[in-house]
Amino acid sequence: MENQKRIQKLAEEHGEENLVVILGGAEAEASGLAAETVTNGDPTFAGPLAGVQLGLRVYHILEPEIKSEVDEDVYEEQISMMEMVLEVDEIVDEVKLYRDKYCNFD
């Protein structure tokens, strides 16, 4: 709930078009839920983003678009181990599903 409040506040302060949300969840379902929340609103209707369609750009840290933006040494040290143990394609597909469906920005 606290993260939803922060995202909502940042969207109000900086404009939805100026935000990109980077997720790091270890499971496709959890990452999809987070992606849906910042694009189409909280589907559980429990948090501040319930019914709030921000349409934000959302990516998972394991997506090629984001990976290419991270310093190679930092990625290797902090993230590369995740690629070996997680279902990367499943996670990426889940986040992309919500981004493609609900994102308002290119």
* pTM as predicted: 0.93
76-95 confidence digits (pLDDT tens):
999 999 999 999 999 999 99
Task: Give buried/exposed letters for 56-95 (b at 16+ CB in 10 A, else e).
Answer: bbbbbbbbeebbeeeeeeebeeeeeebeeebeeeebbebb
User: Nearest Cα to 97, choosing from 41, 49, 46, 58?
Assistant: 58
User: Nearest Cα to 59, choosing from 70, 50, 67, 47?
Assistant: 67
8-50 confidence digits (pLDDT tens):
999 999 999 999 999 999 999 999 999 999 999 999 999 999 9
* Whole-angstrom distance, CA of residue 29 vs CA of residue 21: 17
